[in-house]
Structure 1
Amino acid sequence: MTTLTLRRTGRRSWTLTSDTGVLHGTLRTGPGLVCAEAKAADGSWSVRAHGPRRRRVTAGPPGAVALELEPPLARSARRDAPARWETPRGFRRYEGLLTHAGGRVAARTSTRPGAAVTVEVTGHQPDLVVLTVCFALLTRRRRDGMRALWVAAITSHGPR
């Protein structure tokens, strides 16, 4: 099992590193964390969240879909066997678990904006898949944060 950490390094940039500090990839996000560009040694993917709840995430080279995460399933262009994608939400944390016959990717982050994402990888997983799983958690956290702001603004009665 390998432990990786995705840390924020700029306003819209994140880096994926191992415990020893080896760089595995980068993630450059777009406005509102709806889209991103994931880069690793094995290539570059564009990643996008779909729908109002941002539960469906697609990733792949420009113009193609190599990985689609939509609970409870994950579809990969590289694998014929089905995979599972689960996003249980715990108290003060977000979790994502991608499991298939070749291994699993388990990611976890706190509800605090800008918090790092800790990833445990079992089996051989491309770094681009790990970055896609991390993006799926980040975009859900962003959506929930914006939703909380909307509720506060709508229920606020303004200055008296």
Structure 2
Amino acid sequence: MSNHIRITKQFFFESGHALYGYDGKCKNVHGHSYKLYVTVIGSPITDKNNVKYGMVIDFGDLKKIVKEEIVDVFDHATVFNQNTPHLELAKELQKRDHKVILVDYQPTSEMMIIDFAKKIKKRLPNHIELHSLKLKETDTSYAEWFAYDNI
């Protein structure tokens, strides 16, 4: 019997976005101090000769993946749906040397977390699975993604 353990690491990044076609304040460009919780699941390494003995995954290895795929990309960037007229605004900001990310979805927390899950899953070692993600947009509002909801 193997012992499955969940390991979670928290990340922070600042990002702006605008929701094209939305009927509220969030149609305007605005930003959030995002908190991302990444939880992976696996069994601790049992090989006593492995430098990672006793770990499911080295927190440093998980940090490297999430930093490269998410934090370094999205931090202090403004995210726009490239399939809307916001594309013109994005191009203007890019001309003025602003960090802009164009995505093929509405940049809500819900859609961002789906994107993040795909990117993180691709980079995880074979013996580790992504269990869940939690993306806090504000202290009181967040989206969650769970692997077992997406089988």
Q: Which has the higher contact order (CA 8 A, sep 6+)?
A: 2
TM-score when normalising by structure 1: 0.25
More helix by share: 2
More strand by share: 1
